[in-house]
A and B are shown apart, each in its own frame.
Chain A
Amino acid sequence: MTLPSKFFCLLWACGLVAAAAPGEAFEVSFGVSVGGIQVGTDPALAVSPFASLLWRTESGFLLEAHDMFSILPDDRSVGVHNRTSVTLGYAWDKGNVSVGPSLSFYSMPVCGVDYCRRVTGAAPGGHAQTDWYFAGPLGASVSANLAWYDGSSFMLLGSAAVTVTAGPILRLEI
């Protein structure tokens, strides 16, 4: 078999796989949520762009990697908080739902009763997310995260944190 023949044969084989599993796909999705973050005793404004890479099978099973980067503007300095999660779940035509572990890295000003201080650290946790696409590739995403903030800083000592975010999402099939 000549090289071009092999090439077309490969394309045909790939076409067969795609035809056999029409629901299987890779997707990227992204968006920006604006909300709040309460750290220590003070709530703060959070601007959070996010991006996801999702793989779903014909049966609806999905594996997703999700990253949300939050910018926390402050009078004195800027805080940053990045959360990465890998989740498993179920997808259908207009949406999906998934859960899995997460890991956050942060460097942000935290205030106690009288004093504030920048605290840098890592916080493991659990992440749950659901996306609903109501206008083609455009939809809404809601996520919840439970993380544990602990370490040598007395400003953030043994604290569980619950995060709930919502915002618009746009998906593109690869």
Chain B
Amino acid sequence: MKKPFILLACALASCNYDDGACYPRGQGGNGVGGGEIVPAGAEGFGDVPPDPQDATDPVPPECLDATDGPCVNKCLADYVEEAAKCGKIENETQRRACQDIAYLGYKSCGLNCTKKQNDCLDHCKDLCVQIWEGCTDACGKDHVCRQRCMRELQECTKECERKCK
């Protein structure tokens, strides 16, 4: 695994990565104590009000991966900027309202990304299948040739998933 070596290489600049799945709070909470303080993020995720998640929600900001793609990352960057502005509002009611609007904006932006990503994936995979059909037609009954077509189809779909992030 290369990640530990990456850590050694970037130790002077500070680096980290997510190491496992995101899980809801309460399914493994922490204990109680005091001393070391690591805020949830200088950009203010700790101040963002918790919103209920449903099946159509985009990935919560704190659960995003760096590899989630430029579209979702742009949504996150906009959200972080808006949330930071909201954090400066002194009146609590107004601040929470502002944060709610920022979060709704993020959800809407994320949903658009998911839709675009799905459209892109559908289109790309259709093209892969068309190529595969052409390949198998050309192979005829050649079993080895058909296996090669199948491998190319698998590589093509992987490439789609990479490109459509």
- On chain B, the residues within 8 Å of A35 by CB distance are 33-36
Q: Are A107 and B46 in contact (CB under 8 A)?
A: no
15 interchain pairs, CB-CB under 8 A: A38-B36, A44-B30, A44-B32, A46-B35, A109-B30, A112-B40, A112-B62, A113-B25, A113-B40, A114-B25, A115-B23, A122-B7, A154-B62, A162-B37, A163-B35
- On chain B, the residues within 8 Å of A59 by CB distance are none
Q: Are A120 and B19 in contact (CB under 8 A)?
A: yes
Q: Does residue B70 face the partner (Cβ distance < 8 Å to A)?
A: no
A109 touching B28 in the complex, CB below 8 Å, given contacts A36-B34, A36-B35, A122-B7: yes
Give which listed residue, A73, A114, A115, A164, contacts B35 with CB less than 8 A. Answer: A164
Q: Are A124 and B43 in contact (CB under 8 A)?
A: no
Q: Are A38 and B25 in contact (CB under 8 A)?
A: no
CA A38 to CA B37, docked complex, whole Å: 5
Q: Are B36 and A162 in contact (CB under 8 A)?
A: yes
CA A168 to CA B137, docked complex, whole Å: 78
A121 touching B36 in the complex, CB below 8 Å, given contacts A115-B60, A115-B62, A160-B42: no
Supplied contacts A43-B33, A115-B25, A117-B23, 15 more A-B pairs, CB within 8 Å: A36-B34, A40-B46, A43-B30, A43-B34, A111-B25, A114-B51, A119-B19, A122-B16, A124-B14, A151-B10, A152-B65, A153-B66, A155-B63, A157-B42, A163-B37
Q: Does residue A165 face the partner (Cβ distance < 8 Å to B)?
A: yes
The A contact surface, by secondary structure, is: strand
Q: Are B37 and A124 in contact (CB under 8 A)?
A: no
**Binary contact readout B32-72 vs A (1 if CB under 8 angstroms, 0 otherwise):** 11111111111101101111010000001111111000000
- On chain B, the residues within 8 Å of A39 by CB distance are 30, 36, 38
Q: Does residue B97 face the partner (Cβ distance < 8 Å to A)?
A: no
Q: Does residue B140 face the partner (Cβ distance < 8 Å to A)?
A: no
CA A42 to CA B23, docked complex, whole Å: 14
Chain B residues with a Cβ under 8 A of chain A: 3, 7-8, 10-25, 27-43, 45-46, 48-51, 53, 60-66, 76
Q: Are A113 and B18 in contact (CB under 8 A)?
A: no
Query: How many A residues touch the partner, as a band?
Result: 35 or more
Q: Does residue A28 face the partner (Cβ distance < 8 Å to B)?
A: no
Q: CB-nearest residue of chain A relative to B7?
A: A122
CA A45 to CA B36, docked complex, whole Å: 10
**Binary contact readout A139-151 vs B (1 if CB under 8 angstroms, 0 otherwise):** 0000000001111
Q: Are A156 and B41 in contact (CB under 8 A)?
A: yes
CA A113 to CA B14, docked complex, whole Å: 23
Give which listed residue, B17, B29, B64, contacts A121 with CB less than 8 A. Answer: B17
Q: Are B17 and A153 in contact (CB under 8 A)?
A: yes
Q: Does residue A76 face the partner (Cβ distance < 8 Å to B)?
A: yes
Q: Are B25 and A161 in contact (CB under 8 A)?
A: no
